[in-house]
């Protein structure tokens, strides 16, 4: 992941080197070479994913120079929210990569102390999930589309909720390979540590609106954004509503920067009338350059 960009883009190369310097260990080597088991540790995967996304975003801007498109708003799903803050000028990259490393460590420890699980359910709406959550004690962690919701909670409760969802007409239930019950009350003990880390950093006022996961509204001040980051650990990611908020503001084109295209797929399911592009390497950057802004 990212090796091609490291070789071909000075901006991307500097991003990977900046991450290594900020964290005090060769994260870039882990991103390029693995091993996968070490990379998948949430304390490593979170800064790795953010570093890759910022490397792609900077490489795109480097390639386009003064003609690079200007975003009307930025948003990110869970961890991706931190990437959006760098793009919006709220956090500098060295601070942001250290913050997500700390976030990963705190979430990992919370998962050890209060083990849990997550599952994606396809084919049921929010009303059906309200009842399932009430009966099992699980919580909605991500509302991704009209018919894709991720649940989070105690392992036994999640298994029971998956069974109930299947019995009540869910098209598919998928146990997610994660280390804890993220975006649920089982992450509560990580909040204080994240709040301390957030308060220790300088936050600039955003250069463009940042659409928050917890509110699905535009955040336009540093104070709002600080609250959003801490609040996000235990609260649901309202991705469907966030995308609709952006569309309602007049946006007709979305660009996902980073490895993979999960969010692009979700956006297409939320609103088929908008253009969606994923940028992850030089080939996709060239493709985007041919799209009208």
Q: Which positions are annotated as active-site residues? A: 78, 183
Q: How do 275-279 and 253-257 pair as beta strands?
A: parallel
Contacts of 216 (CB under 8 A, 6+ apart): 238, 241, 242, 244, 245
Main-chain phi, psi angles of 256, to 5 degrees: -100, 120
Contact 207, 218 (CB under 8 A): no
Alpha helices in the chain (DSSP H): 3-8, 10-23, 27-33, 36-39, 42-64, 80-87, 93-113, 126-136, 155-167, 191-199, 222-231, 239-248, 262-270, 282-289
Angle at 231 between CA 137 and CA 156, to 5 degrees: 20
Residue with tokens 């990212």: 2
**DSSP notation for 25-67:** S-HHHHHHH--HHHHTSHHHHHHHHHHHHHHHHHHHHHHHGGG
Token readout for 182 is 């993220």
């Amino acid at each position: 992941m990212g090796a091609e960009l490291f070789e071909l883009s000075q901006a991307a190369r500097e991003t990977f080197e900046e991450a290594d310097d900020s964290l005090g260990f060769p994260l870039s080597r882990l991103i390029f070479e693995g091993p996968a088991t070490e990379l998948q540790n949430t304390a490593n995967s979170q800064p790795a994913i953010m570093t890759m996304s910022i490397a792609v975003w900077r490489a795109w801007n480097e390639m386009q120079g003064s003609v690079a498109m200007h975003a009307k708003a930025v948003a990110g799903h869970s961890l991706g929210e931190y990437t959006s803050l760098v793009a919006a000028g709220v956090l500098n990259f060295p601070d942001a990569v250290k913050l997500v490393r700390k976030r990963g460590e705190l979430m990992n420890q919370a998962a050890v102390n209060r083990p849990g699980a997550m599952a994606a359910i396809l084919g049921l709406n929010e009303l059906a999930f309200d009842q399932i959550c009430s009966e099992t004690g699980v919580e909605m962690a991500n509302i991704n589309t009209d018919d894709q919701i991720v649940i989070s909670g105690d392992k036994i409760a999640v298994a029971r909720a998956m069974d109930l969802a299947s019995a009540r007409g869910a098209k598919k239930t998928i146990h997610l390979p994660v280390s804890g019950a993220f975006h649920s009350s089982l992450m509560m003990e990580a909040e204080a540590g994240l709040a301390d880390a957030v308060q220790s950093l300088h936050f600039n006022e955003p250069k463009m609106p940042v659409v928050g996961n917890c509110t699905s509204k535009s955040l336009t001040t540093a104070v709002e954004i600080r609250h959003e980051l801490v609040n996000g650990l235990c609260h649901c990611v309202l991705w469907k509503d966030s995308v609709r908020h952006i569309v309602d503001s007049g946006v007709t084109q979305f660009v996902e920067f980073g490895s993979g295209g999960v969010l692009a797929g979700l956006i297409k399911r939320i609103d088929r009338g908008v253009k969606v592009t994923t940028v992850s390497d030089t080939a996709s950057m060239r493709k985007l350059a041919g799209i009208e802004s």
